Amino acid sequence: MEFQAKDIAALLNGTVEGDPEVSVNNVSKIEEGKPGTLAFLANPKYEHYIYTTAASIVLVNEDFKPAHECSCTLIRVKSAYDAIATLLQMYESMKPRPKGIEQPSYISDSATLGEDLYVGAFAYIGKGAKIGNNVKIYPQVFIGDGVVIGDNSIIYAGVKVYTGCVIGKGCILHSGAVIGADGFGFVPEGDFYKKIPQIGNVVLEDNVEVGANTCIDRATMGSTRIHDGVKLDNLIQIAHNVVIGRNTVIAAQSGVAGTAKVGENCVFGGQVGIIGHLEIGSGTQIAAQSGITNNVAEKSVLRGSPAFDLPYYQKCYVVFRKLPELYSQLRDLQKEIRELKSK
């Protein structure tokens, strides 16, 4: 489908600078722009590309002031990044979605199925499972006994949802995610470890997204709970009885140990580690590769391992980078002191 600049501007409440009749039928990165495509400029580091890009239309922020003439048509919007996200969501929603039940697949006679369902080949849906309306279950998905999946959720190929877990409405589970595997519960018994049965479940509330190969363990008792709007990246480990608050975002390769409680609207960078039984206050931001070993107050900004307040960390890091030089100066001073003492 083709769209003219004036139509895109009307959709985004933007203004056109250039040819309002120019059409596009695809999108591109600004540095790889091609005729007939739409690109966007949100990061000032990429501004130089706008003067050479072959893209026909570029979305820019309202306050953008070009240093040179642009050959492309500009559409000024309040936020170019938000605008391209809106367009990409619309583009994604227009793509055809699969429907129906492919064979071979297994669906228990006691399972309850909603309308407009898609079940891909080699999927398994266990006893007493309840699947909502417009749910998409891609090939080779395992849905255990008693699992509940809410309306409009998407379960991509190879996901495993263990017995008794609950997936809310509008959730997205990417390939390889495992929901409800046993929590890591063992007790020493002589020279061995005795396994503690994990009899709880995992509850994902509405609009949760779980990245590829991310694992969320079932609770020992009760529920491991991921609240509304949480976004988990790929390769994340969430341990048993953890609670993640609403709209928290966690980047790849992070781990949250058992029974930790994470507040709402937190942001964790990649490879953050949280030890067990801690409480992380709402609004906390934690930089990548940080290790959290103590409770954290609300709206904290932390970095380091063990982590501490970011401004103090930055001051310490300045000194850390100078340690070789400072050590050399210290050795020279010690040498001078010894020479003075010898005299």
What is the pTM for the complete model shown? 0.87
Which residue in the list 48, 68, 240, 277 is annotated as catalytic? 240
Per the CB < 8 A criterion, the answer to whether 127 and 107 are in contact is: no
- Confidence class of residue 97 from pLDDT cuts 50, 70 and 90? confident
Q: Tell me what pLDDT residue 25 has.
A: 93
Across the chain, mean pLDDT equals: 95
pLDDT of residue 342: 86
Provide CB contacts within 8 A for 121, sequence distance 6+.
Answer: 102, 103, 104, 105, 139, 140
pLDDT above 90: percentage of residues in the chain:
86
pLDDT, tens digit, 9 for 90 and up, residues 223-272: 999 999 999 999 999 999 999 999 999 999 999 999 999 999 999 999 99
- pLDDT higher than threshold 90 for residue 113: yes
Q: What is the mean pLDDT of residues 99-113?
A: 97
Distance, in Å, from the CA atom of 170 to the CA atom of 93, rounded to the nearest integer, reads 13
Q: What is the tens place of the pLDDT at every residue in 173-215?
A: 999 999 999 999 999 999 999 999 999 999 999 999 999 999 9
The yes-or-no verdict on residue 321 having pLDDT over 90 is no
Do the bridges between strand 37-41 and strand 57-61 make them parallel or antiparallel, or are there none, so unpaired? parallel
174 catalytic residue (yes or no): no
